[in-house]
Amino acid sequence: MDEALSRDDVVVNLWNSYTKTPDYKCGLTEGIPPNNKLVEKQERLGLERVYDHLVKKSAIHNLKDRAINDWLKEWKEMHNLLFAFVLKKRGDWRKKDLRIGDPYDNLLALPPWQDVPRRISEFAHRLNELLSFEYKTNKEKYLVLAEIHYKFVMIHPFDDGNGRIARALTDQISLYLGLTTAMVGYPKHNKKKQSLYHRAINRSAKFKNVVPMSQWIESYIEKQLSQLA
């Protein structure tokens, strides 16, 4: 989220905590800045709940047997958990048009908000197709994870948190495919790593394939696997 959060936007406990900070007392801002440490802390707690309640547990089940609607409900629940300590309105598809990257770069154009329900349902169907195959090599698995991650981000079904939920979903499927989590520790505010991530998305859009994204994912997972060896 790029805009300041008003009292009407956030849960009561967060606003009450913010009123005790110097920024509020000095009248430096009319709302809570999105990069405020309080917001960052609460979002981090929310992300931990996403992994504890959904990613790690569901990854051990037979995900290929899931109904489309079960996937949709789970992604909404991920959003609900992620922002449970931050936003009053959460857990539903976006109701406004968004853009990512350069506003003049049509390669990164997102679908209008009215098209999100259809696009996210089609994505869930594609996910089930991908999970119906057997993959012999890690390279094949990285390409699957890349397609899942990239397509979710390019639908951008929520107002905020799409990257984190896409990474949570990628880790969930990674565990299911017998790999390890790679992106749970991905630092939202690490500019260097964020730049590499955005570059992978841009290159995948430019070349119309997910190889750049698969290379980015591979670099994370291979590092984790080498530490476990």
pLDDT score of 145: 96
**What is the predicted pLDDT for the residue at 228?**
64
pLDDT of residue 99: 87
pLDDT of residue 229: 58
CA distance linking residue 88 with residue 91, whole number of Å: 10
pLDDT computed for residue 114 by the predictor: 98
Residue 40 CB neighbours (<10 A): 14
CA atoms of 119 and 145, how far apart (whole Å): 18
Average pLDDT per block of 10 residues along the chain, 229 residues long: 86 94 74 88 93 84 87 97 96 94 78 98 97 95 96 96 93 92 63 82 92 92 74
Place of tokens 């709302």: 31
Q: How far apart are CA 179 and CA 138, in angstroms?
A: 8
Q: CA 181, 187, 190, 196 torsion: positive or negative? A: positive
Spatial distance between the Cα atoms of 76 and 71, rounded to a whole number of angstroms = 9
Enumerate domains of the chain plus CATH numbers.
Answer: 35-228 (1.10.3290.10)
At 195 the pLDDT is: 82
CB within 8 Å of 181: residues ≥ 6 apart: 51, 55, 171, 174, 175, 224
Q: Give the pLDDT of residue 133.
A: 94
Give buried/exposed letters for 190-211 (b at 16+ CB in 10 A, else e): eeeeeeebeebbbbbbeeeebe
Give me the pLDDT at residue 70, please.
Answer: 95
What whole-number distance in Å separates Cα of residue 215 and Cα of residue 136? Answer: 18
What pLDDT score does 100 carry?
Answer: 85
